[in-house]
Every structure is written in structure tokens, then in C-alpha cells.
Amino acid sequence: MNNHSQNQDQNMTKQEYLEKALEFFKTNYPEEEPKINEKEFAIIVKDGMNIILNTPYLKALESDFNGWDNALKTFYEVNRNILEQTTAVTTWEDAKDKILPQIKTKAQLEHAINIAKDYAPDPEDLIVYKDFIGDLAIAWVIDSPKGFLYITKKMLGKFNKTTDDLNSVAIANLGELPGTETGPKTIKMHDGSASLIWETSDGYDAARILLPSFYEIFRRRLGDMFLVGIPHRDILIVVASDFKTSLSGFIVKEFNQSSHPVSSQIIEATPTGLGVLESS
């Protein structure tokens, strides 16, 4: 883009932005058959979705219209995804067998929620979650061959269910996954210590810490107290309490290298439950 067009972009009126947005949609999403809705400052696409442009326009103003097209792309795709989420799953019966848990830090979930607030003006379109241990929380997703969709307040309301209902169904479904039935495998750490690991790469390995049978599975092999790591969503590793140092090094390395990190902290399992182990 030359300097002249950059200056034009930096001074776009709402009408000019609307016309640019139409051109953007025609170029990038011609299948949507976009049209201008001047009355509502929006672009209408073929299924009747009304893409109201107030939010991306204000964000573009804040940045002097630098990257306005990327911001519009994000706005459209987030809202299209929300629409597909809420229309693809219409009833509890449709969803209940596909619901599974995901563990994230509360900071990660709040970050996702804050981003969504910029692009999804309806507060009911935000992710729901519940506290787990330490700074960790449990969110719930609807699984599909294409990936998974986080359950939002709007979807929960449509189902007429509570987060406890979600969690009960999600844990039951988790127990039925092939990777759960196979169980953990034994590996050797670099220092020769043995560890038990769930690493099925089905996207729910870290979440298996939520299984009702989790503690008993590992207690039989490691004793009443043992240590757990869930550095990212595709691994759960358990070692005897004596091997804190080797587990810590492993967790930090896996956490830093993953595109789906969960926690760099060690979790201690005891007969009374799970807790984050304080650094010493």
C-alpha cells in the first residue's frame, strides 16, 4: 500500500469504511454474497447474518486503521464461528454425548474471554468454566472431527443445564474415550526414574486427571502420595514423590515447547485430594 492510500485509510469515514468492508468481503468471502446495510452500518451475508461493523470500526480508529482488514477478518470469523456453534448444536440431546472437559489456567480462559468481548458484543457468547485447583480451571467443549468448540453461557442457557451437569456428562464421556480405556504407559526419565504417562494425543490427556478413577489407578503402583504434571493438553505424567526434581525439569521443558500449554507447576496427589505443590 502506498503512502497516499495509507493516509486515506487513516482518515476513513464510516461510509468509506463500509464500502471498504464490502470490497473486502467480495474479495475474501465471495461465497457469502455480501451486501451493504447502511441503516445498521453492517454487511449482510447470504444466510441473513448481519455483520454490524461498529466494533471493528472503533478498533480500526484506535489504530489509525493500521491492519483494519486483519481486524475485520478476525471479527467476522469469530462471529461466524459463534453462529455455527449455536446453530449446529440445538438441543442437549444433540450435545451431551460430545461434551468433554479441558483444563486451562484461569488466566488463559480470562484472556480468551477478554478477546471475545472485543468481537462478540453479546456477553452470553462467552466461555463458561469452574475452578479446579490452584490457578487451574475446567472448561467444557463439544468435540467433533474438525476440532472442538468451547461451551458458552448462551449454549448453557439453551440446554437449560448447570455447569455441574456439564461436568458430570463430560467426565463420563472422558472415561469412554479409547485412550482412557488403554490406560497409562510406563517410560523412563533421563535420570532413570520410572514414570507413568498418558500421551494419546487425542486432546484430552491432561484432562484425565479429572477421572474419578485417577487416584486409584496410580496409587496401586506408586503408593498413597505421588506427583503429577500436566504441562500441556496432550500429556499427563505421574512419578513417585521422590522424583520431584526430574519431574519439574520435564514439565518446564514440555510446557515451554507446547502450543497448548496448561501448567508448569507440579500437582501433588494424596489420599485427601489434589493440590498444587508449593515451590521450595
- For residue 2, what pLDDT is reported? 41
pLDDT at 5: 39
Residue ranges per structural domain of the chain:
3-88, 92-176, 178-276
pLDDT exceeding 90 applies to what percent of the chain? 51
Residue 124 CB contacts under 8 Å (≥ 6 apart), including other chains = 152, 153, 154, 157
pLDDT at 29 over 80: yes
Task: Identify the pLDDT of residue 8.
Answer: 46
| Confidence check: pLDDT of 280 > 70 | no
pLDDT value at residue 12: 85
Averaged pLDDT, 257-271: 93
pLDDT at 1: 40
- Over range 23-44, report the average pLDDT: 90
Average pLDDT over residues 146-171: 89
Say what the pLDDT of residue 201 is: 87
Measure the CA–CA gap between 171 and 204, rounded to whole angstroms. Answer: 11
Over residues 174-203, mean pLDDT:
84
Residue 37 pLDDT greater than 70, yes or no: yes
Helix (H) or strand (E) holding 50: strand 50-52
Q: Where do we find the cell 445498521?
A: 40
User: Distances from the Cα of 69 to the Cαs of 49, 77, 186, 193, 243, in angstroms?
Assistant: 19, 12, 50, 53, 51
More confident residue, 230 or 59: 230
Q: List pLDDT tens digits, range 95-153.
A: 999 999 999 999 988 887 776 665 555 666 688 999 999 999 999 998 877 667 788 88
Distance set, CA 247 to CA 250, 264, 279 (Å): 5, 10, 13
User: What is the reported pLDDT for 179?
Assistant: 85
Question: Does pTM top 0.85 for this prediction?
Answer: no
pLDDT at 9: 53
Which pLDDT value is given to residue 262? Answer: 95
* Separation between Cα atoms, residue 270 and residue 226, nearest integer Å: 7
Tell me the backbone φ, ψ of residue 212, rounded to 5 degrees: -60, -30
pLDDT of residue 3: 40
10 or 226: whose pLDDT is higher? 226
User: What is the residue-averaged pLDDT of the chain?
Assistant: 86
Region 234-245: mean pLDDT is: 93
- pLDDT the model gives residue 118: 58
Comparing 52-56, 165-169, 188-192, the range with the smallest average pLDDT is 188-192
Average pLDDT over residues 249-268: 93
Can you tell me the distance from the alpha carbon of 238 to that of 270, in angstroms, rounded to the nearest whole number? 13
Rounded CA separation 231/241 (Å):
18
Cα separation, 158 vs 190, in Å, equals: 50
pLDDT: is 207 or 91 the higher one?
207
